[in-house]
A and B are shown apart, each in its own frame.
Chain A
Amino acid sequence: MVLRVGIVGWGAYIPRYRVKVEEIARVWGYDPSVGAELGVYEKAVGGVDEDATTIGLEAALNAVKRAGIDPRRIGAVFFGSESKPYAVKPSATIIAEALGIVPDTMASDLEFACRAGSEGLRAAFGLVASGQIEYGLVVGADTAQANPGDVLEFTAASGGAAFVVGPARDAVAVLEGVYTYVTDTPDFWRREVSPYPVHGEAFTGEPAYFHHIESAVKGLMERLGLKPQDFDYVVFHQPNGRFPLRIAKRLGFTKEQVEPGLIAPYIGNTYNGSAFLGFARVLDIAKPGSRILVAPFGSGAGSDAYSFVVTDAIEEKRDRAPKVDDYIADKVYIDYAMYAKYRRLVLRYNM
């Protein structure tokens, strides 16, 4: 398959606040070693005035800066999140408006747990490849929710990343192929009125995360005739710091291929931002000619496996916006009380 499309610009955003896993363990009476078990030591927390839309907007501004294009040439804005500020009212239009992309564009919010943004990426590539739009903007951002005291709370984090996609001639990374694998799997869900998601405990790993990513990645490599050693970098969805290393090993990838794109240990699981931020971190350092495998995963369940080849254009675009590591390093620790206020775990009534 010759698609002639690729990533034209990438952008990240991670809020500055961090809460340590040991602080959450202290409040809820967990074994202090829980962080080591999960491979996550602290997580990023959005400030009191941040939500998935503002986080996505910051990432999108960085992506458009790197792309260096007039935003009016963007013909589709897709926003993937499972923490939309409004149940009904698109975030994609707010982002499109703030970037000056409106009104001559498509815009929609997508939902597929943590891979909604990735579905947007596939759709945008398809629209560019078929000549219906010149450029597309894809945003994955979340202020991930977790029931206080649930094991999910150690990792559920805030952050996002965005990509401008367009024709291969402008690309920093050309899309070589993509394969998607989905089934109906009840591993994680949230009903309309529930504030927090519910997960199927042990069921979230094997039949969900591992089976879908393994199937997507094998399906892609078969179609492209590639082997694990053909890739320089591999990025998986990162619900914690351990799963990506485990799936990598199972598929025959080395730790060295995974680590550059592994961000969960420093910021936690940013849901729709997770694999996207890992991919952005790889683009921050990748040399022309590098081949990158990216495999987001979303509960419910599905995984996409993409293969990208980096072009010479990457070098001049790299320094146009802050890098993932700049955001990881720029942090302020808060305690559980401030985190609870910022993430609206404490309900306050205006009377």
Chain B
Amino acid sequence: MAYRLSPARLWREKDSRYRLVGGMCRRCGRRFYPPRPVCPYCGSKSVERVELARQGVVETFAITYTVQEGFRDQAPIVYAIVKLDDGARVFAPLTDVEPEKVHTGMRVEAVVRRVRVDDDHGLIAYGIKFRPLRPAKSGQ
């Protein structure tokens, strides 16, 4: 079945999709992704939007061979929970990595990639994915 990406939703989410903007709770200090008005940890409504750390480690992951229509070209997709260096946890796909090489504790960095594309006529949804640090031997 044809599926249409919502322009309004992509527009609303562009900060979190392009710049890894998440929430930071002013009461308990924890960071989370995606941003939302209420802290998922303590329930506080005192939340500000901040750019999260762009590097972190893979905490856990799953290799998905059975994918929804529209994602077959990206299969198998490795979904991971990445713990960022600032403590926030992000659920996102990995990219630029062979599934058999993924392991917990692997250091990764955020990149903006195509997450989903609405056929030849529709919108392109860009969003955050994580990849192993690249280039592997850079001086950074």
Contacts and interface: CB of A to CB of B under 8 A. Distances in A.
A97 B17 CA distance: 11
A53 B112 CA distance: 10
B79 to A, nearest CB: 14
B30 interface: no
Nearest to A100: B19
Main secondary structure of the interface of A (DSSP, over half): loop
Interface in B6-25: 14, 18-19
Contact of A47 (B14, B95, B135): B95
B100 interface: no
B126 interface: yes
A51 interface: yes
A48 B74 contact: yes
Interchain residue pairs A-B with the least CB separation, the first 10: A326-B135, A330-B135, A98-B18, A49-B113, A322-B138, A49-B114, A319-B139, A326-B138, A322-B135, A330-B136
A112 B138 CA distance: 33
A130 to B, nearest CB: 31
A323 B138 contact: yes
Contacts of A348: 72-73
A327 B135 contact: yes
Interface string B111-136: 11111000100001010010000111
Given A48-B74, A321-B140, A350 B18 contact: no
Interface string B48-78: 0000000000000000000001101110000
B70 to A, nearest CB: 6
A53 to B, nearest CB: 8
A50 B111 CA distance: 10
Contacts of A57: 112
A73 interface: no
Contact of B126 (A54, A100, A319): A54
Interface in B87-109: 95-96, 98
Interface of A: 16, 47-51, 53-54, 57-58, 85-86, 94, 97-98, 100, 319-323, 326-327, 329-330, 332, 341, 348, 350-351
A103 B113 CA distance: 22
A18 B36 CA distance: 40
Contacts of A49: 74, 95, 113-115, 129
B72 A50 contact: no
A97 B140 contact: no
Contacts of A351: 69
A94 B127 CA distance: 11
Given A48-B74, A54-B113, A85-B124, 9 more contacts: A49-B114, A49-B115, A50-B113, A50-B114, A86-B124, A94-B18, A321-B140, A322-B140, A350-B70
Nearest to B118: A350
Contacts of A350: 2-3, 69-70, 119
Given A49-B115, A51-B114, A58-B111, A98 B135 contact: no
Contacts of B3: 350
B42 to A, nearest CB: 29
Contacts of B139: 319, 322-323
A54 B135 contact: no
Given A47-B95, A50-B113, A322-B140, A16 B134 contact: yes
Given A100-B19, A350-B2, A16 B138 contact: no
A29 to B, nearest CB: 27
Contacts of B73: 48, 341, 348
A98 B134 contact: no
A270 B18 CA distance: 24
Contacts of B129: 49
A330 B133 CA distance: 11
Contacts of A47: 95-96, 113
A330 B74 contact: no
Contact of A97 (B14, B98, B111): B14
A57 B140 CA distance: 19
